[in-house]
Amino acid sequence: MGLDTDQTAPVNRRVVMTSPGRPEALEVHTGPRPSPRRGRVVVRVEAAGVSFAEVQTLGGLHPFPSKPPCVLGYDLIGRIVEVGPGVDNWRAGDRVVSMPRIGAWQEYAEVTVRSLAPVPEDLDAGEVVALVCNGVTAWQMLHRSARVRPGGVVLVHGASGGVGTLLTQLSVRHGVRVIGTASPAKHDAVRALGGEPLDYRDDVVAAVRRLAPGGVDAVFDHIGGAGLTAGWSLLAPGGTLVSYDSSVAGYQPGQWFRPHLPALRRVIGWNLAGLVGATRGRRARTYYVKPGPHFRDDLASLFSLVRDGALRPTVAQRYPLDEAGRAVRELIDGGVVGKLVLVP
């Protein structure tokens, strides 16, 4: 077992959801620092991401709900302070990222070694955590799910968001034209990333058809529901629609999987139609980021782009743990361009 390298902070501060509800009801608790179990390490957290996964969890609408009381937080960057039994490839002092999906919003987090990836020492913690879930999602949807080629054109819904800003940059760098939806106040930010902004409240289908009469090669949709049908209609032959989340607006707490069912039904239906040649080669995919070899490889590629100056994660704001509720409220209220970050 590795030795603890930090003897100055024997306690742990963490953001706890005691029950689903308003983000302002999140509580900061203090307790003993965790000890690592077999196959796990304890990480002193440098930064943790704020995402709509936490919004869904607070609303009782996450498809994979956690039982309260629980510590929220999907992804983190930090430094290992202690390793548990059976851990051979990591040691105290290593700088790492992890995507535990729950438990990142605390000063010290116990995570499995399966979720770890190494981090260069010279990268900013906030920018790194913006890449862990959002960056890998953007990279894999573009290069692994849709496999868009240079010279193509894509529609990115929410082009000013945590995933959208990175997806827009990666697509433009790949030689792909980006049409991106966003509120008018965020259009300049989308243009600065290299995208062509559209107001999501307008007739997006008509606007995209004017800009890309031959259709688009991919649609990246984080809203789900009936809007997927509109996206499907915009695909060029051979194009791909990627659904990577669903809006939970209008659903009641406890309907944890219902917001996602319409998207799943549509994707399954289109793919069944494709088996009999009825889709002109168009495909539909659902996407869910997960740890593994591809995750580590793609994250390393993103780190290289950042170090080379070819990619710049957009950190909208950094908050202390005590203001986690405020950060979530800001995300819910809109107006955020890029990623919100908690700094313990």
Q: What digits encode the pLDDT tens for the residues 239-276?
A: 999 999 866 566 666 666 676 788 888 999 999 999 99
> How many helices (H) and strands (E) would you count in the chain?
10, 16
- Return the pLDDT at 291: 84
pLDDT at residue 122 is higher than 90? yes
Rounded to two decimals, the pTM is 0.92
- Return the pLDDT at 215: 98
Window from 27-41, 188-202, 213-227, 258-272 with minimum mean pLDDT? 258-272
Q: State what percent of residues in the chain have pLDDT above 90.
A: 81
- Return the pLDDT at 25: 84
Cα separation, 69 vs 27, whole angstroms: 10
pLDDT band at 189 (very low <50, low <70, confident <90, very high): very high
pLDDT band at 284 (very low <50, low <70, confident <90, very high): very high
pLDDT at residue 6 is higher than 60? no
- Return the pLDDT at 106: 98
Cα separation, 308 vs 137, whole angstroms: 20
What homologous superfamily is domain 132-286 in, according to CATH? NAD(P)-binding Rossmann-like Domain (3.40.50.720)
Both tokens of residue 304? 């290289």
pLDDT at residue 9 is higher than 70? no
- Return the pLDDT at 7: 47
- Return the pLDDT at 246: 67
pLDDT at residue 175 is higher than 90? yes
Q: Which CATH class, in words, describes the domain spanning 11-119+314-343?
A: alpha beta
pLDDT band at 20 (very low <50, low <70, confident <90, very high): confident
The segment(s) of the chain belonging to CATH 3.40.50.720 are 132-286
Higher pLDDT among residues 67 and 28, named by residue: 28
Q: What is the arithmetic mean of pLDDT over 148-168?
A: 97
- Return the pLDDT at 3: 45
pLDDT band at 5 (very low <50, low <70, confident <90, very high): very low
SS3 track for 43-66: EEEEEEEECHHHHHHHCCCCCCCC
pLDDT at residue 325 is higher than 70? yes
SS3 state of residue 130: helix
pLDDT at residue 83 is higher than 50? yes
Cα separation, 335 vs 189, whole angstroms: 11
107 neighbors 342 (Cβ within 8 angstroms): no
- Return the pLDDT at 248: 58
- Return the pLDDT at 21: 87
The segment(s) of the chain belonging to CATH 3.90.180.10 are 11-119+314-343
- Return the pLDDT at 237: 97
